[in-house]
Amino acid sequence: MKNNFKWGIIGTGGIAGEFANDLSYLNNHTVAAVGSRKLSTAQQFASKYPDCVGYASYSELVADPNLDGIYIATPQNFHVEHTILALDAGKPVLCEKPFAINTSEVELMVKTATQNQLTLIEAMWTRFLPHIEIVRKIINSNVLGNIHTLQADHGQRLSESNKPRLWDPALGGGALLDLGIYVVSFAHLILGVPDKITAKSNFTDKGVDEQTSAIFEYKNGAQAILNTTLRNSTPCRAVISGVNGWLEIDRTFYNPAAMRVVLNDGTKTEYPNNYKGHGLREQAIEFSRCVGSKLIESPLMPHEESIAVMRSMDKIREQIGLHYPNEKL
């Protein structure tokens, strides 16, 4: 791997800027190019980063021979198209979550990456954070005993936001895909694939879910109770409860966060949050490692895990009756 990993970014929205800014904490990652539908937008974004080139189309961006990887930060309904565009141009891809609109799209993306033998990773950035590594170790240590209950919520008061991707069905809008992906993915991380899903939603007048709640049930009797909403802020915490005690992750659980283990015998172990920055750079570090090692997937977020999470998302949508225009299932 070269000393300096050069990124090309598809999209110029908020998450693209946050990703690019978080890379500044690293001395061996740079934003080398950005693509937009308008040259002026691309150039405005590129001007914030030294020697960054702005392209007026995504096809021009992925054709840049100097790029080591592509970060896709467009609305989720474009993820499959832009991922395949980059992979077919010979570029490894880190694609924002949710990976795509549905399972069939994710499977097509994975198939294309496998055929081209190129790295493809879902940018579920939470999975790569230091405190989640500690969560994995705590669960694997069995200090909590058998896990019976998981609770996680992700609610933001976005009712005053006019961002189309939040409310437009054609862009995959709604609480589930934009925010709910975090709680669903977290449940999969801790408890695996559910045996049964029960979900309920409230809908906007545009036909997307503004609030969705789900219960995941597992063969061993465990349950995950999940909630997501665009209409109001919630604590955004997660609690994993076992027979010996619980692990609680403070607000905001999917960000770098403080947490603690509280056992039934009164023992309490604190894990403070000393992280600096947003946290999006951790996935970039793992992505560059996988590219350098010629891995097509990361063990921290393997393809089968992304597919399994999207299957659960599809099952929730089927239950609540959430469909997107021109969707190919």
**Cα 174 to Cα 323: distance, rounded to the nearest angstrom:** 11
Q: Helix, strand, coil: what percent of the chain each, to 5?
A: 35, 25, 40
State the Cα–Cα distance between residues 208 and 176, nearest whole angstrom: 9
| CATH placement of domain 5-125 | 3.40.50.720
Q: For 66-119, how does the pLDDT look when each residue is reduced to its tens digit (9 = 90+)?
A: 999 999 999 999 999 999 999 999 999 999 999 999 999 999 999 999 999 999
SS (H, E, C) 119-138: CEEEECHHHHCHHHHHHHHH
* Cα-trace Rg, the chain: 20
174: left (phi over 0), alpha (psi -120 to 50) or beta: left
Please state, for a pLDDT cut of 70, what percent of the chain lies above it.
99
Q: Check: CB of residue 313 under 8 Å from CB of residue 101.
A: no
Within 13 A of 10's CA, how many CA atoms are on the CB side?
A: 32
For 261-289, write each residue's pLDDT tens digit: 999 999 999 999 999 999 999 999 999 99
The structure tokens listed for 81 are 């198209």
Report how far residue 242's alpha carbon sits from residue 254's, in angstroms, rounded to the nearest whole number.
20
Residue-wise pLDDT tens digits, 120-144: 999 999 999 999 999 999 999 999 9
Task: Name which of 289, 313, 292 is nearest 301 in CA terms.
Answer: 289
User: In the block, which residue shows the tokens 């061996």?
Assistant: 28
Residue 329, pLDDT above cutoff 70: no
Fold of the domain built from segment(s) 130-278: Dihydrodipicolinate Reductase; domain 2 (3.30.360)
Q: In sequence order, what are the residues at sequence separation of 6 or more whose Cβ sits closer than 8 angstroms to the Cβ of residue 73?
A: 9, 10, 11, 12, 13, 15, 16, 19, 96
Average pLDDT, the chain: 96
Q: Whole-angstrom Cα distance, residue 54 to residue 57?
A: 9
> Which CA distances in Å does 15 have to 29, 72, 107?
17, 10, 24
26-64: per-residue pLDDT in tens? 999 999 999 999 999 999 999 999 999 999 999 999 999
Does the pLDDT of residue 328 top 70, yes or no? no
Predicted pLDDT at 1: 44
Distance, in Å, from the CA atom of 180 to the CA atom of 203, rounded to the nearest integer, reads: 14
* C-beta separation of 94 from 87 below 8 A: no
pLDDT of residue 2: 52
Where along the chain do the CATH 3.30.360.10 domains lie? Answer: 130-278
Q: What is the pLDDT of residues 220-273, one digit of tens each?
A: 999 999 999 999 999 999 999 999 999 999 999 999 999 999 999 999 999 999
Q: What is the pLDDT of residue 206?
A: 92
CA distance 320 to 39: 40
As annotated, the residues of the chain forming the CATH 3.40.50.720 domain(s) are 5-125
Rounded mean pLDDT, 164-177:
92
Enter the pTM of the model.
Answer: 0.95
